[in-house]
């Protein structure tokens, strides 16, 4: 379930959007946008704050604080509801379509009478957008892609929201008398970037108290179904939760069964069938002679295809009981199949079983391996916390080094100047005296222009310890142009890291059109790291692209892109993506010692 702070932040952002779309004061809209970011990034729970306390949040004025307090007391913001009433609900839905936004949604409604996402898609196919101000030749194609993105993400939950809810559930159910184990499984345990529903497993001699406890949680809105082994509920945020309770002795088998992807589990069941065994959520069993014949027959089919999967499934159903071989732990289940334990993030049938058989599973990077964060922001640009607050929080995380990388001047809205950046550098040096164990790095996030150039001349760039370069504009360039600009950025001797390479925002903006393999080759050739941006809204690169980049010999940086102190915890999500991309500490530059990282950051000297 989303944090209260995030819920309020979303409402304030919607209010800002509606001010814009109804022709309200642009300055007022920007104030609410800033307040939305501030509230979402505030580390304390808003429920504990009154109006005066809310006004202590940077960017939250009295009027905004009163609206938040009103929502906390009543669950409503009348001013927001009043603006909503002025715009048809379908137009508000169009605002959420990637490549549309508030201003375009209003133009479509005003000029063409389009009042829903469905009408928008029909208008594009009928070529009715031609002539509407602000819509070019490829606008329709991009909007259709945006509609598809929105539909694909419909009903799916971002990783951070799902993780927070799952951890709340596990904590609550673990406290129920009689519960001996509890954990979440499924795609969330595999750290997929979005989650369809949440699977929770528990063990107990009597399942009834656990099932009752789940249905009575305050954030459960509806009980879909309940029985002695499984209960399904819908939360107030529309997320389905499935709780399964199994005997203690079957914990390992259940965890294997309900964690692996469908393809991974089919491979495991096929291996079991070949050995004359049956694998289910209840354990690994021997089967009798008749079942073994069925299993042998099933193996006559093509095991990698649909027939093989059906044959394995049929063999599993050949007998519902038999001598149990193992079921207590995941290690035992995998070992009985001739495999070492396979990390959950690898269980996707991407070669992990074959690697396990050959003793070639990678020693995956862990969050505890990270020694620092190389992409963060302060309130000097669009961050919400001061330099001191960000550094103090980084020090509390036990990092060895930490980079501040505020935006550069080509992102005009951030109003960066040479003088501001140099003043920050001096302040950073003063703060270094307070943090003897934390090496402070002064960096910047540069903007990659349409021609591949970046802010500031070489002599100014030479003064930074680390430079991240990212695309922040011109998302609609064609494939060749996007590829050229990124390769040129990699070739810049002062660019150490390419930030959020594809620019995507999950469910909101698709990736730019770029030849990733060409960019990965350039990054490997020039010694430029590619970022795994850990923001749950980005997770850019995707895990599939991480795998591709690794094959090119690319190095990576797992960064928070933090704009608030709470965001410095984001790397846990980036680590999940890195593991799904089979990365080790050797692949990740901010898992290296300072001396090794320092040599990597001397890219400019190596290329001169």
Torsion of CA 245, 250, 256, 261, to 10 degrees: -50
CA distance 404 to 418: 16
* Residues in the chain, total: 608
* Whether the model pTM is above 0.85: no
CA distance 340 to 359: 8
Rounded to a whole number of angstroms, the distance between the first and last alpha carbons of the chain is 51
Range(s) for CATH 3.30.210.10 in the chain? 251-357
Region of 289 on the Ramachandran plot (φ > 0 left; ψ -120 to 50 alpha; else beta) = alpha
The CATH class of 367-607 is alpha beta
pLDDT value for 30 = 82
pLDDT value for 121 = 87
For 475-492, the pLDDT digits (tens) are: 989 999 999 999 999 999
Regions of the chain with pLDDT less than 50:
1, 290-320, 608
Distant-in-sequence, close-in-space partners of 108: CB < 8 Å, separation ≥ 6 = 91, 94, 100, 114, 120, 123, 129, 132
Residue 35, CA atoms < 13 Å, CB-side half-sphere:
26
pLDDT value for 414 = 74
Range(s) for CATH 1.10.150.110 in the chain? 4-153
Q: By the 8 A CB rule, do 527 and 541 touch?
A: no
For 508-551, the pLDDT digits (tens) are: 788 999 999 999 999 999 999 999 999 999 999 999 999 999 99
CA distance 95 to 126: 21
CA distance 473 to 457: 20
Maximum distance among all alpha carbons in the chain?
82
State the architecture of 157-246 in CATH terms.
2-Layer Sandwich (3.30)
State the architecture of 4-153 in CATH terms.
Orthogonal Bundle (1.10)
Distant-in-sequence, close-in-space partners of 282: CB < 8 Å, separation ≥ 6 = 246, 250, 253, 254, 324, 327
251-357 is a CATH 3.30.210.10 domain: yes
CA distance 382 to 384: 7
Range(s) for CATH 3.30.460.10 in the chain? 157-246
Q: By the 8 A CB rule, do 540 and 570 touch?
A: no
Nearest to 543 by CA among 283, 187, 176: 187
Range(s) for CATH 3.20.20.140 in the chain? 367-607
Q: Beta-carbon neighbour count of residue 305 at 10 Å?
A: 10
């Amino acid at each position: 379930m989303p944090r209260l702070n995030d819920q309020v932040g979303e409402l304030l952002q919607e209010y800002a959007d509606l001010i814009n779309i109804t022709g309200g004061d642009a300055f007022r809209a920007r104030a609410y946008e800033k307040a939305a970011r501030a509230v979402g990034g505030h580390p304390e729970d808003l429920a504990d704050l009154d109006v005066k306390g809310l006004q202590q949040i940077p960017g939250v004025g009295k009027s905004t604080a009163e609206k938040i307090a009103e929502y906390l007391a009543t669950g409503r913001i009348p001013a927001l509801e009043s603006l909503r009433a002025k715009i048809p609900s379908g137009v508000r839905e169009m605002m959420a379509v990637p490549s549309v936004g508030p201003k375009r949604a209003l133009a479509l409604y005003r000029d063409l009478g389009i009042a829903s996402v469905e009408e928008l898609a029909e208008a594009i196919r009928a070529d009715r957008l031609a002539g509407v101000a602000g819509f070019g030749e490829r606008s329709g194609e991009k909007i259709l892609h945006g509609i598809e993105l929105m539909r694909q993400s419909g009903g799916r939950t971002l990783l951070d929201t799902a993780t927070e809810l799952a951890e709340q559930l596990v904590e609550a159910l673990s406290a129920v008398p009689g519960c001996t184990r509890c954990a979440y499984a499924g795609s969330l345990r595999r750290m997929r970037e979005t989650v369809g529903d949440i699977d929770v497993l528990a063990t107990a001699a009597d399942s009834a108290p656990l099932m009752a406890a789940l249905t009575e949680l305050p954030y459960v809105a509806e009980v879909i179904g309940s029985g002695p082994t499984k209960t399904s509920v819908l939360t107030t945020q529309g997320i389905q939760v499935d709780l399964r309770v199994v005997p203690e002795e079957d914990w390992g088998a259940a965890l294997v069964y309900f964690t692996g992807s469908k393809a991974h589990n089919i491979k495991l069941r096929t291996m079991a069938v070949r050995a004359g065994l049956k694998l289910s959520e209840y354990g690994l069993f021997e089967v009798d002679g008749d079942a073994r014949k069925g299993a042998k027959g099933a193996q006559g089919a093509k095991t990698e295809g649909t027939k093989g999967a059906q044959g394995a499934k049929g063999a599993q159903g050949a007998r519902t009981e038999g001598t149990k071989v193992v079921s207590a732990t995941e290690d035992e289940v995998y070992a009985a199949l001739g495999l070492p334990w396979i990390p959950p993030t690898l269980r996707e049938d991407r070669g992990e079983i074959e690697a396990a058989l050959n003793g070639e599973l990678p020693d995956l990077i862990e969050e505890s391996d990270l020694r620092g964060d190389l992409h963060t922001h302060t309130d000097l640009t669009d961050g919400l916390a001061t330099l001191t607050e960000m550094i103090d929080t980084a020090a509390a995380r036990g990092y060895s080094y930490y980079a501040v990388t505020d935006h550069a001047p080509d992102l005009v809205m951030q109003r960066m100047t040479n003088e501001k950046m140099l003043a920050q550098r001096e302040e950073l040096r003063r703060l270094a005296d307070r943090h003897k164990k934390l090496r402070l790095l002064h960096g910047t996030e540069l903007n990659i222009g349409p021609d591949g150039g970046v802010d500031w001349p070489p002599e100014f760039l030479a003064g930074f310890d680390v430079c991240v370069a990212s695309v922040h504009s011109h998302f609609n360039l064609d494939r060749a142009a996007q590829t050229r600009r990124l390769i040129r950025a990699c070739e810049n001797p002062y660019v150490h890291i390419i930030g959020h390479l594809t620019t995507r925002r999950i469910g909101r903006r698709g990736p730019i059109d770029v030849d990733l393999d060409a960019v990965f080759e350039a990054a490997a050739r020039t010694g430029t790291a590619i970022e795994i941006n850990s923001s749950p809204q980005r997770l850019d690169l995707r895990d599939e692209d991480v795998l591709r980049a690794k094959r090119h010999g690319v190095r990576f940086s797992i960064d928070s892109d933090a704009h608030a102190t709470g965001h410095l915890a984001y790397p846990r999500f980036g680590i999940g993506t890195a593991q799904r991309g089979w990365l080790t500490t050797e692949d990740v530059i901010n898992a290296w010692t300072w001396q090794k990282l320092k040599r990597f950051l001397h890219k400019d000297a190596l290329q001169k």
